[in-house]
Structure 1
Amino acid sequence: MDGWSSCLTTTATVAGAYLAWYAVCAWQCRRAMPALRLRGSHCYVTGGSAGLGEHLANLLAEAGANVTIVARNQDRLLAAQKRIQGHCADPEQQRIVAISADVANAAEGTRALHRAIKAQQGQAPKYVFACAGLTTPRFFLEYRPQDFEQTMQVNYFGALHTIQEAAKLMIQHEVKGGRVVTVSSQAGLLGIPGYSEYTPTKAALRMLTETLYYELAIYGIAAHCFLPANIRTPGFEHENQTKPEITRIIDGDDEAMDPRDCAQCMLDGMAKGYPNITSDWLGDIVRATCRGVGPANNMALDTLFVFLGWFLVPLWRVIVWWQAKSCRQAEAAQRKQVLSQ
């Protein structure tokens, strides 16, 4: 056998072994999670009056689920409820419920869940999606103490209180195959200038979900963390009103996803049994690189992503930091001037 034949044989053997490993890991992922059965199930969505939450509710309605959406603004909530009803696969049978509540308040969030069960004819939530969140990007030195507290209250504690009460109700009502989903962000995987009030809350959600992945499994409840990139939503438009230029460069505003496509990524990841779900391949590389000893989506694929991440993530950091050089210099000069007054 000549050198080329030997090289091709070795390559084919390695590739075949890797593909077999990938297939086994994919099978194990799906086997470890209960099947995703949306039709007739009660799906509970916070932040459901707009953006990702509303588009997710549309997809759930199209799949035949009974959907409860929760948000603070009553008018926007009722308008979203009507739009979601238009997506029902079986309008005669499905129930689309809207409940106005501030999930950042533990008592209100708890009452909302109990009201939802009553409105859904005693049916407890089987799938809970904590989509409510906010951010107002600016530089760290510009924030007030209450800004940090409010964002943590909504993004982290709003999800935490909702999921804790929902898990208790799933156990109480003997819900089989229940799942809870927190919506973190790729910003929860790496620090981005301009998001000092936001990234810690999303990182906290990621670690909360990793803990729940193991703990709630005791009761047959699966936990997922969704880590999307930018999404074209009203919230994203609000972000852009205050976003520093350096954040725009790093964030890549022109690449924001369609919210419906993003919601579909979430459901697809749940169907595959992924503990941590991303919306694009770059997010998967960063996720796998930052995974540590947490659960893998697919060990074979994650190993490949980690290998790529060792080279691509540092390179990306150097490139964007170089691109933002003039912005950093301008901000430093301006900040020194302001603080010296």
Structure 2
Amino acid sequence: MAALSLLSLLLILLLPLCLLLVLYLIVRPRPVKIPIKDRHVFVTGGSSGIGLAIAHRAASEGARVSILARSQAKLDEAKQAIQLATGVDVATFSADVRDFDALRRATEEAGPVDVLVVNHGVYLPKELATQELDEVRFMIDVNLIGSFNMIKAFLPAMKARTDRRPASVVLMSSQAGQVGIYGYTAYCASKFGLRGLAEALQQEIIADDIHVSLVFPSYTDTPGLVEENKRRPPLTRVITGSSGAMKADEVAEKALNGIKSGSFIVPCNFEGYLLAIVTAGLSPQRSYVMAFVEVVSASILRLTALFFQWNWYSSIEKWHAQSKQ
């Protein structure tokens, strides 16, 4: 009997080790390190918020930095701020990401890029039933089509680069690109679309040693958040709670660390890590340890997610019941 118990204990101990071994053998793509120093980092939406924070941090780590946005005045301010803080000369490009020809001209002027950070984005929260289709198209055009435009414009030179060290394409999504949120219908659609783009693109460019990172920031204290809060439906506030916003510098640090490690999914806070696990699906995973965590915790986190959905839908039912009184 004692021998049988010892055997059972050994099997219990061996199973996790066997799973780790299997995951070590099968996780793809393989781990990679992407250097930033002395590389060309190009950031869209680089004149403010997260984009400016990423550009600033990349410059402080010795990168050659270019930033793109629509307003030349804001670009000039951002350039001066980065130069004063880091001493790095920053190239600026004024263009609308919806204008592919303008982006192609920027590509020719900027030269080959090693790390392309597709960070631009707009969000106009409102229930779909009352939101104008022009606003829906605007978000889709900027957030999703604009990302296609950027990658399409810059990818040929990245694939033909003479610096054969690993390169990176970074897409800035949102936690609203992991889970649907009341009042964010169009925005969620545009950010969910980035995931499909990222997963398929990684397969297409892995042979060129270009690695895709998909960043999922939470609410971030940026000028855009101020405008968003003015429009956010009251029920959205009830469902999402009153959690504090992250600082742009915090998101930039998480994002750049994820880029340098070649991580496909880059969460930015603890909630983001949980969402990354529960929504892992068929996304690439470079870390066999993280893959182990995903496999082992998937069931319990799915149960947790169902409790969240129960709470959200209960809040919606209660809200509408009170509205009818």
Fold shared per TM-score above 0.5 = yes
Match of 1:62 in 2: 60
Distance (Å, rounded) in 1 between the aligned partners of 2:282 and 2:27: 18
Matches within 5 A, 1:80-99: 80-88=78-86, 91=87, 94-99=88-93
- Choose the corresponding residue for 2:98, options 93, 97, 104: 104
Distance 1:301 1:268, change over 3 A: farther
AA aligned to 1:170 is M
Q: Are residues 1:236 and 2:225 paired?
A: yes
Higher relative contact order (CA 8 A, sep 6+): 2
Match of 1:120 in 2: none
Between 312-321 and 284-293, the greater mean CA deviation after superposition: 284-293
Q: Are residues 1:280 and 2:272 paired?
A: no
Distance 1:53 1:174, change over 3 A: same
Deviations 1:106-140 (A, max 9, x none): 112222222222xxxxxx11000000000110111
CA-CA distance at 1:314 after TM superposition: 0.5
Matches within 5 A, 1:30-69: 32-69=30-67
Matches within 5 A, 1:223-262: 223-262=212-251
Match of 2:13 in 1: 13
Distance (Å, rounded) in 1 between the aligned partners of 2:225 and 2:176: 13
CA-CA distance at 1:174 after TM superposition: 3.2
AA aligned to 1:156 is L
* Kept after mapping to 2: 8 A contact 1:61/1:87: no
Match of 1:303 in 2: 295
Deviations 1:273-307 (A, max 9, x none): 32111112332332333332232353212213422
AA aligned to 2:132 is R
* Kept after mapping to 2: 8 A contact 1:245/1:327: no
Distance 1:21 1:281, change over 3 A: farther
Match of 2:109 in 1: 115
Match of 1:338 in 2: none
Distance 1:291 1:51, change over 3 A: same
Distance (Å, rounded) in 2 between the aligned partners of 1:23 and 1:63: 33
CA-CA distance at 1:48 after TM superposition: 0.5
Match of 1:165 in 2: 153
CA-CA distance at 1:23 after TM superposition: 9.5
Distance (Å, rounded) in 1 between the aligned partners of 2:17 and 2:216: 30
Match of 1:149 in 2: 137
CA-CA distance at 1:249 after TM superposition: 2.5
Distance 1:28 1:273, change over 3 A: farther
> Following TM superposition, where does structure 1 have runs of at least 4 consecutive aligned residues deviating by more than 4 angstroms?
5-12, 18-25
Deviations 1:87-122 (A, max 9, x none): 32xx3xx431121111121112222222222xxxxx
Distance (Å, rounded) in 2 between the aligned partners of 1:300 and 1:287: 13
Distance (Å, rounded) in 2 between the aligned partners of 1:7 and 1:281: 38
CA-CA distance at 1:318 after TM superposition: 1.2
Distance (Å, rounded) in 1 between the aligned partners of 2:234 and 2:6: 53
Distance (Å, rounded) in 1 between the aligned partners of 2:50 and 2:7: 48
Aligned alpha-carbon RMSD (Å): 2.8
Match of 1:183 in 2: 172
Deviations 1:214-246 (A, max 9, x none): 101122211111122211111111110100112
* Kept after mapping to 1: 8 A contact 2:34/2:261: no
Match of 2:124 in 1: 136
Alignment length (residue pairs):
320
Q: List alignment gaps of at least 5 residues for structure 2.
A: none
Distance (Å, rounded) in 2 between the aligned partners of 1:170 and 1:245: 45
Deviations 1:296-326 (A, max 9, x none): 3532122134223221101111123323444
Between 51-60 and 6-15, the greater mean CA deviation after superposition: 6-15
Q: List alignment gaps of at least 5 residues for structure 1.
A: 118-123, 335-341
Match of 1:270 in 2: 259
Distance (Å, rounded) in 1 between the aligned partners of 2:201 and 2:285: 15
Distance 1:8 1:237, change over 3 A: farther
Between 160-169 and 60-69, the greater mean CA deviation after superposition: 160-169
